[in-house]
């Protein structure tokens, strides 16, 4: 069991989630975060902290499409455990649909 970051995170990156995770299992891409499924302890505290509701438990069928992406990129991207500054235009993208196809970047973020 794990929690999963979905495409709603793309270009938002408010990073409220990393502040509350007790096991520091978030990893940072250029414009989204992912959760390492083998490190997440399924506590659920990050889910209500995420403004665009990007975080889902893997028991939710809406998480199915994103589990593999979280697995793959948490191995490739650097760990992030401190909240950074959200992009200036984050609010504009909060409710945009289909962000993966339009904006997903496989490039790593800076981590912290
Ligand atoms: S709070 Fe939500 S949108 Fe923001 S970085 Fe975390 S998962 Fe992504
Ligand atoms: S469910 Fe808990 S352990 Fe998993 S990512 Fe969220 S805060 Fe971290």
Domains of the chain: 3-82 (3.30.70.20)
CB distance 3 to ligand 1 below 6 Å: no
Report whether pLDDT(13) > 70.
Answer: no
pTM for this predicted structure:
0.95
Return the percentage of the chain with pLDDT > 70, whole number.
Answer: 99
- With beta carbons less than 8 A apart as the criterion, state whether 23 and 39 touch: yes
- Spatial distance between the Cα atoms of 58 and 1, rounded to a whole number of angstroms: 6
- Spatial distance between the Cα atoms of 107 and 112, rounded to a whole number of angstroms: 16
User: Which residues, 6+ apart, have CB-to-CB distance to 72 below 8 Å?
Assistant: none
Out of 35, 56, 74, mutate this one to test ligand 2's pocket (max ligand atoms within 8 Å of CB): namely: 35
Ligand nearest to the CA of 47: 2
Report whether pLDDT(71) > 80.
Answer: yes
Helix (H, G, I), strand (E, B) or coil at 28: strand
Out of 17, 79, 111, mutate this one to test ligand 1's pocket (max ligand atoms within 8 Å of CB): namely: 17
- Spatial distance between the Cα atoms of 41 and 21, rounded to a whole number of angstroms: 9
């Amino acid at each position: 069991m794990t929690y999963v970051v979905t495409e709603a995170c793309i270009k938002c990156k408010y990073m409220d989630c990393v502040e509350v995770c007790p096991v520091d299992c978030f990893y940072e891409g250029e414009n989204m975060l992912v959760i390492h499924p083998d490190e997440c302890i399924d506590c659920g505290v990050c889910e209500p902290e995420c403004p665009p509701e990007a975080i889902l438990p893997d028991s939710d069928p809406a998480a199915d499409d994103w589990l593999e992406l979280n697995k793959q990129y948490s191995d490739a991207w650097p760990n992030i455990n401190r909240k950074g500054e959200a992009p200036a235009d984050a609010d504009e993208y909060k409710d945009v649909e289909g962000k993966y196809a339009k904006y997903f970047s496989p490039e790593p973020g800076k981590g912290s």
